[in-house]
């Protein structure tokens, strides 16, 4: 059955975003984070397009995500950010992906099993994953064949740079003393902080998919994801009547309303109630009333909109984030399963 809502992913925009990030990474190689199923776009489709454009390094969160990518080509590198649990070991040892070892326990598990090349995460101040700097400098990594030594920035997307600079200063001594083939530090926002943060390999995610992590990226990052929903019904609400659950929107005049086949079960969450926008040619039509589970109402004014029409939802990520109160990351990774997905 053809779905009444769809997502179109723009291959050229994805590749253009990667090229801009690669250019901004200077001499460092530029990889791609494809965890959470390519931030909701479908990891396989993303890997295929970025590999064709020259990207060689990919990152997923878990071994289940590595497995879902299918047979992994030898010429590409895949890192599993959460490292290895005991229950991952059999699969991990048989798979070309490398674990990103995050704790002394993980390091010992990998070393004792005679696992080959690995990556290592050190914590430079975020207090999320990674060995402490003391552990890393104190011999915990001895004897490992480290391909990539990495750390992760906590607030590179905030205007205040002090935290990032402190993390950089914390990472530098370990980055220079621990033996590894490559060093990696910057995510999308980190790339915007300049060459000092790039090291040998960068790891953007969000900006590949159209997220703007930092003002330096504005105007360079193109929109990749375009949701559209079909009109189920066009109706007229009279002056003084209300629209939707809770009657939160009261019509100031007789109003033509289109009911669209999209709702919070599709990840188009309640934050868009009264704030979202739907586009018809040059016209912008406001979402009115509360978003329901499967439906959403828009004020179509005098626009020629009929039952069965497809209307594009405004999904410019910085704008949609401001409208909905969600982060650009949440907007992408919440996209539901009812969309028909296609690449152009």
The binding site for ligand PLP (CB under 6 A) comprises 33, 35, 81, 152, 187-189, 203-206
| β-pair type (182-184, 146-150) | parallel
CA 160 to centroid of chain Cα atoms: 22
Q: Which is nearer to ligand PLP, 66 or 258 (CB)?
A: 66
Q: Which is nearer to ligand PLP, 211 or 244 (CB)?
A: 211
CA 127 to centroid of chain Cα atoms: 21
Q: How far is the CB of 327 from ligand PLP (least distance, A)?
A: 10
Distance of alpha carbon 38 from alpha carbon 169, whole angstroms: 31
264 a catalytic residue:
no
Q: Which is nearer to ligand PLP, 208 or 229 (CB)?
A: 208
Which one of the listed residues 215, 239, 245, 250 is annotated catalytic?
245
Q: How far is the CB of 204 from ligand PLP (least distance, A)?
A: 4
245 a catalytic residue:
yes
Q: How many CB atoms lie within 10 A of CB 215?
A: 10
Which one of the listed residues 35, 39, 329, 339 is annotated catalytic?
35
42's CB contacts (< 8 A; 6+ apart) are: 9, 341
Q: How far is the CB of 129 from ligand PLP (least distance, A)?
A: 7
DSSP line for 62-74: SHHHHHHT-SPPT
Q: Minimal CB distance to ligand PLP: which residue? A: 205
Region of 130 please: left (phi>0), alpha (psi -120 to 50) or beta: left
- N residues, the chain: 344
Q: How far is the CB of 176 from ligand PLP (least distance, A)?
A: 20
Q: Which is nearer to ligand PLP, 49 or 152 (CB)?
A: 152
Catalytic residues: 35, 245
């Amino acid at each position: 059955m053809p779905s009444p809502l769809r997502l179109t992913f723009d291959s050229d925009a994805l590749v253009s975003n990667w090229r801009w990030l690669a250019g901004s990474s200077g001499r460092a190689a530029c990889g791609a984070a494809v965890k959470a199923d390519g931030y909701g776009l479908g990891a396989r489709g993303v890997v295929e397009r970025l590999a064709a454009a020259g990207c060689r390094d990919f990152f997923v969160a878990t071994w289940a995500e590595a497995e879902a990518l299918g047979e992994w080509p030898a010429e590409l590198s895949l890192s599993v950010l959460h490292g290895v649990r005991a229950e991952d070991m059999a699969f991990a040892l048989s798979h070309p992906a490398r674990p990103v070892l995050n704790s002394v326990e993980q390091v010992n598990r990998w070393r004792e099993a005679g696992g080959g090349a690995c990556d290592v995460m050190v914590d430079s101040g975020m207090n999320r994953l990674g060995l402490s700097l003391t552990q890393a400098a104190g011999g915990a990594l001895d004897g490992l064949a480290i391909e990539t030594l990495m750390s992760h920035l906590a607030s590179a997307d905030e205007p205040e740079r002090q935290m990032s600079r402190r993390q950089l200063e914390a990472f530098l001594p370990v980055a220079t003393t621990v033996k590894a083939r490559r060093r990696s530090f910057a995510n999308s926002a980190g790339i915007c902080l300049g060459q000092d943060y790039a090291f040998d390999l960068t790891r953007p995610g969000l900006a590949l998919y159209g997220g703007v992590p930092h003002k330096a990226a504005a105007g360079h990052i193109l929109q990749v994801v375009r949701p559209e929903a079909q009109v189920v019904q066009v109706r007229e609400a009279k002056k003084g009547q209300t629209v939707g659950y809770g009657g939160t929107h009261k019509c100031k005049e007789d109003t033509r309303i289109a009911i669209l086949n999209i709702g919070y079960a599709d990840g188009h969450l309640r934050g868009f109630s009264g704030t979202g926008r739907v586009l018809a040619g040059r016209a912008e039509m406001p979402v009115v009333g509360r978003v329901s589970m499967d439906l959403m109402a828009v004020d179509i004014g005098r626009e020629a909109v009929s039952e069965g029409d497809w209307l594009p939802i405004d999904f410019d990520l910085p704008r949609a984030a401001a409208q909905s109160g969600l982060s650009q990351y949440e907007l992408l990774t919440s996209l539901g399963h009812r969309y028909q997905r296609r690449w152009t």
